[in-house]
Each structure stands twice: as structure tokens, then as C-alpha cells.
Structure 1
């Protein structure tokens, strides 16, 4: 199989999902290429698109939420969105690339490439089989105006959310969100901690705002450091991702019992070493945590799809949801000493989250190609 995976860097989750699928395809000896389609036109253009999203999410989360809300309202109108028409400018560029390179299937982990492909179909371009993978626990705005052969959704519980927006039920495949295989590998926690240079006798609270270090993590860390001050043998590990300003501010703050790290390639190991994971509710990072079976405390959601993610996880007993106030965090952190509650959360994660999503998605891709032939 020759597979093309299209993604964008507006947050790390889309790329991580694409990499998880590519990892599994290559394990099966298929050929896979992953790229940001806007790079075909201009790396500068791709960078501007990515940076605009990250800036809004980090610096103006309320405005970001307002934009998301406007999208929800706009999708009720009887015509296509501006997002669709803007992406028409990429039709000839991606069309030329597909003419020069043969692919059996195009797998998309982001809405924008799906919009480009839909424009291409509308303009009469011949494209291979197409698969869209949702990376949030909701049908995000404008998914319904795309035209893909199949839509991989995170959960069968989201079927009505997709069909109510106009996507045909027969196109839905509730296989889950794909994560890299290392998150589902069973490992001894003490051995992982030794490898990371952590103390096996301590409890570690892992704090992260995703790859971009968003979600009011600075406020959360300040509050958490004061809350755990009296917790015996408990420390924070803060992953700042690509947010260097956040890293510098937290390092200079000098909070006690707080270890500040930048971007980490071994996030799976830190999750498995943790006693609790405090994070904004990104779809991919929350799925990684659930696959790793670490108790999750969701806080400081970026308004929009992350709000839906938090609702889905908390409703299904896979996380606890709270704001970053000292009172709420103090109450929520009690789970770290509640073994029964932690086990129940892990059991719910195991029931509701498909740790083999990447493999199941590749099974589906192989089936689509066979049907085509």
C-alpha cells in the first residue's frame, strides 16, 4: 500500500495521530508519506497557519472559543464555510503533487486537508480512497461539509453527534484516536522511574499543556505548588512543550517541589511514571493518558472542542474535571491517595478507549484498498 498522510501543526495532536498511523503502516511494510499540504505551496504559509492557531490558543483562549462558537453557528447556514473556499487555493498544488506521486489512500488527521480534497473532488480531480480521522471527542465545525470515503471517530457514543451534522452513518467507523505504540506498552513503573531518574518512593503529579504549553498551565502550577506543599513525598513534573516563555517563567519562579522540563520525546514514560496527570483536555493527549492508564485531572480547557473532550472523559468516569482554583484543585487532588478511585478510573479508561486504534485504522485502510481493487 502507498499511503499519504496529511496533517497540520495547529497543535501537536493532529501530527501525533498521523505519526501513530504511519508507525503502524510501516510496521506492516507499507509505504507511507506524511506531510503538511501547505508546505507544498510555501513553508512560510504553513508556518503562518500553525503559528496563528498556537498564538490564539496560548494568548487569547477566550477569543479562540468565540471563533469556535461562531463556527458552530455558521455550520447551521445552508452554504459552505469560508474555510472551504479558502482551501480551494491549494487544489492545483496538491493536484500536481498527486499526479507526480502515486498513492492508494489519503489519510487525514486535520480538517483543512479534508477541505482541500473535497474541493478537488468538486473540481473533477481524480483522488484515491480517502479517510478522515477525528482527533477530538466531538464533531468539529465544518467536518460535515467534507467528502471522504470514511470518517474514523473516537467513540461509538459520538455517532449521533456526527449524523446530526449530516455525515452518513454508513461512513462512520468508531475505531478511536490513534496513539504511538509506546503508550500502550506494559511497563513496570519502578523501572520507568529509575530510567527517568525519579524516586520510586515518591508520588509524582505530571502537569502538561500539550505540545504548545497552553491551557493556563502557569496558573495551575502556581496553585498546585501551594496545594502540595504539605503533601508528603509528592512533587510536580511540568512539561512545557514548545512554549519556551512558559519554561523560562516557571524556572525563574523557583516553586518548591516543582521540576520544570521543556519539550519531551519520552512523554509516554513520564505518563507511566506519574501518579496523576493534570492537563488541559486535548483529544490526543487525553487519549494517550487513558491508554497509559494514568488518573487524569482535566483543568483549564481551551473553549471549544477541548470543552467537549473534558465532558466526554468526565461523563465516562475517565477523568475528573475542575477549574484551577486552589479550593477545587485541593479537593480534586485527593484522588492521588484514593486507590479505589484511581483503579475505577483506569478500568473506565480501559473500557472506553481503544488502545489498538492505530492497528484497527490500518486494517480499515487495507480493506478499503482491497475493495477498490
Structure 2
């Protein structure tokens, strides 16, 4: 089976979900091709879209939140949004690409390519199986105007939300958000710490701002330093935010209890090595943490889908989310000291968040591909048989 995975550079979560399924496909012996589909129109197009998104989220999160709310309102009254028309322009590029390749399925962990696929379907262009993967614990604006064959959602509670928004229930599959199998594997904490050159003794807190290094990294680090107790360490991951990385690296270079990290491909190792995670409630990061089984303190969300993610996690006991920076640091310490409460959170994470979503998605693609192949074979047989039969119209005319 050959699968095309189309993502987009608006946050690292979409890529992470796509790579998780790619990994699972290749482990089963299938072929997977994944890329940012906007590059089909040129690297400049991809860079522009990504830069606008990232800069808005990092520098003007409330503007992003306002746009999200406008989108939610517009999705209730519009049959086709501006997002649809913009992404429809990608149809010609994707059509040309698909004509040079032969894929059995297209997987989309992002709304934008799903909008393009929808436009192409409405133009009568023949396409392989099209499966969308939602990477948040809600239904973001405009998914309802797409026409994919199936939609993989994060949890069974999302089914009712999506149906209310207009997506047919029979197309909704609550298989979870796919994460790499590395996060579900158990690892010895001491070995993980030694590998990352972190102190073997004491309590190590992990602070993250997602792939963009967004959120209150500086404020949380300052609060941790003000209230730090003996034997406590803090690892801060700045992601792609090079400016934040350089600033914090310089500021805390004399503090032996703070470890500042930039972009890393070893996130699963850090989650195994540390005792507690502070992170904004991104869909992928939160899922990776829950699958890893690390207690979570959710920090301030980027307004929009992250607000819904935080609400879902708190509701199911998968995280705590005090409103202030002071409360987040304090309550995180209290949670870690209360082993019964921390273990209850980890148990809830195991029960609510599946670690094998990527494998389930691969099984889905295999199953639907078989059905499609069987139907095609049956159609070929019927066509062959019909070609040897007298014309019905001739028989009917003879009777007349």
C-alpha cells in the first residue's frame, strides 16, 4: 500500500501526527510519502503561510483567538468559507502531482489539504481514499465544509461535537490522535537522565512551549527560580524559537539547576527523564505526554482550540490547569508530592488516551483499501460480462 500524507507548517503538531502514521505504515511494510503540500505551489508560498501563522500565535495570541472565534461563527452560516476558496487554488498543483504518482490513500492531519481535496472531488477528479485526522480535542472551524471519506477524531466525545457541526456520523472514527510509538514505550528514568546529561538525583521539572516555543516560558522559569527548593531542577525546551533559546541560555548560564534546550528530536526521552511537565495545551504535545504517563500542568493556552484541549484534559483528570503562573508552579509541586493524586492522573491518562492510534489508522487504511479493491474487481467482472451480452435496448426494440 502506498499512502500520501499531506501536512502544513502551521505548528509542529500536524507534522508530528503525520510522521507517527508514516512510522506505523513503514513498520507494516507499506510505503508512505509525506510533505508540506503548499510546497507544490512553491517554497515561498509555504514559508509565507507558516510565518504568518507562527508570528501571530507567538506575538499576538489574542488576535489568533479572535480570528478563531470569528471562524467558529462564520462556519455556522457559510457553506463555503474563504479558507475553502484559498485552498481550492492548490487543486491544480495537487492534481498534477497525483497524475505522476499512484497512491492508494491520502491522509491529511491538517484542514488545508482537506479543503483542496474537497474542491477536487466537486470538480469530478477521481481520487484515492481520503482520510482526515483531527489533531485537537474539538472540531475547529471549517472541517464541516470538507468532504473526506473518513475523519479520525481524538475521542468518542468528539463525535457528537462534529455531528452537531454537520459532519456525517458514519464518517467519524474516534481512534485518537496519532503519536510516535516511542512515547508509549517504557524506559528507565535514570538511564534517560544519564543519556540527556541531567542530574540522576532530585526532582526534574520539564517546561515546554510547543514547537514554536510559545507561552509563558520566561515567567514560569522566573517563578520557579524564586520559589525553588533544594534538589529541584528545571529543563526548558524552547522549540523552534531561536530568539527565546538564546535569551534564556544567556540569562541562566550561571544556574546549574536550569537546563535550556532548543529544538530537539528526543522529546520522548525528556518525558521519560522528568517527573512533571508544564506545557501549553497543544493537542499533540498533550497527547504525547499522556501516552508517556507524565503528570501534566497545563499553562495558559493559545486562545481557540487549545482552550478546548485544556478543558477536555482537566475534565477527565488528565491534567491540572491553575490560571496564574504562581498557581501553576505551586500546584505542580503539590501534585508531585501527592503520589496518590499523581498516580490517579497517570491511570486516567492510560484509560482515556490511546497510545496505538497510529496503528489503528494503518489498520483502517488497510481495511478500506481491501474493500475498494474488491469493489473494483467486482466492477471489472461485471463490465467484462456485460460486454458479451446483447444490448438491452436491442432486445427491448425487438419485442416492440
| Structure 1 length-normalised TM | 0.97
User: Pairwise mapping of residues 324-335 of structure 1 onto structure 2 (< 5 A)?
Assistant: 324-335=324-335
Q: Is the 8 A contact 1:71 1:141 kept in 2?
A: yes
Alpha carbon RMSD of aligned pairs, Å? 1.1
Equivalence for 2:342: 342
Structure 1 runs, 4 residues or longer, greater than 4 Å off: none
Confirm whether residue 29 of structure 1 aligns to residue 25 of structure 2: no
Deviations 1:288-331 (A, max 9, x none): 00000000000010000000000000100000012343245323
Distance 1:287 1:210 in 2: 12
Equivalence for 1:143: 143
Distance 2:59 2:223 in 1: 20
Distance 1:175 1:317 in 2: 20
Distance 1:85 1:218 in 2: 39
1:192 CA displacement: 1.2
Distance 1:14 1:329 in 2: 29
Distance 2:176 2:327 in 1: 34
1:265 CA displacement: 1.0
User: Pairwise mapping of residues 1-373 of structure 1 onto structure 2 (< 5 A)?
Assistant: 1-227=1-227, 229=228, 231-254=229-252, 256=255, 257-373=257-373
Q: Is the 8 A contact 1:225 1:236 kept in 2?
A: no
Deviations 1:157-183 (A, max 9, x none): 111111000011111110001111111
Deviations 1:227-280 (A, max 9, x none): 3x2x22111100000101111221222284321111111110000111100000
Answer with 1 or 2: which has the greater Rg. Answer: 2
Structure 2, unpaired ranges of 5+: 374-400
1:94 CA displacement: 0.3
Equivalence for 2:382: none
3-state SS, counterpart of residue 320 of structure 1: coil
Residues 77/182 of structure 1: CA separation in 2 closer, same or farther (3 Å cut) = same
Deviations 1:316-362 (A, max 9, x none): 00000123432453234311211111100000000000000010010
1:201 CA displacement: 1.6
